[in-house]
Amino acid sequence: MSLSQAIFCAMLPAGSALSASLSLRKASKSQAWPWACFGAFFALGAATGYFALRNASGPFSLAALAMATLALSSAAAYDFKTRLIPNFIPFALIALRMALFATELIFGGSAIARILDSFIGLVASSALLLISSKLSKGGVGAGDVKLFAALGFMCGLRAVLSTLLAALIFASIVGIALFALKKKSSKDSVPFAPFAAAGFSAAVALAMI
């Protein structure tokens, strides 16, 4: 493992845990440090970072995966506590992708293809989630739509579809379990961003991105 890879493996789980924990503290307006949240997202970030190093196609892909991991970690913590995803998270992800575009155009050999994939991911994920929101009569929130649109823009069509599929599987399993244990009724909603974060990590691990 090179020095840069070692730094990446150390920084991504720490960044993921820190962004999620800070978001949770801000959402709950508490001064207490959420150690359980920190530990959970540190582990998730470590797993994502390890498999990203193994499966990423290059440095630009690795950078996009890292940025998406941090954004999803922050969104998951906010959504878990408040059932809302702040606008600054997807907007920041879009802004970071624009900055990465500029870097790719200067240094990347196949930047145009990646940029095209990003715009296809943005349009396709927005359309899919908007249709789902209409069909579910608000079951899919506007925050989820914007988060997945930004994820599609950052990582491309294959990444966002793989993440969405994995997130739906995780959400279905947990939802059925909660319903069976009578912790939730069929009318109750659950925050979807934590499943998106887990689904993204699973998609990276299975080389679906």
| HSE toward the beta carbon, residue 124, CA cutoff 13 A | 19
Counting the structural domains of the chain, the total is: 1
> Phi and psi of 204, rounded to 5°?
-65, -45
| Average pLDDT of the residues in 168-188 | 81
Q: Tell me what pLDDT residue 109 has.
A: 63
Query: Counting Cβ atoms within 10 Å, is residue 201 exposed (0-12), middle (13-18) or buried (19+)?
Result: buried
Which amino acid makes up residue 82? T
Q: Tell me what pLDDT residue 1 has.
A: 56
Distance between CA atoms of residues 54 and 157, nearest Å: 20
Q: Tell me what pLDDT residue 127 has.
A: 94
Asked whether 131 and 159 are in contact (CB, 8 A), the reply is no
Asked whether 33 and 25 are in contact (CB, 8 A), the reply is yes
Residue 32 belongs to what domain range?
3-205
- The model's pLDDT over 70-90, given as tens digits with 9 standing for 90+, comes to 999 999 999 998 889 999 999
- On the question of pLDDT at 61 being above 90, the answer is no
pTM: 0.88
- On the question of pLDDT at 122 being above 90, the answer is yes
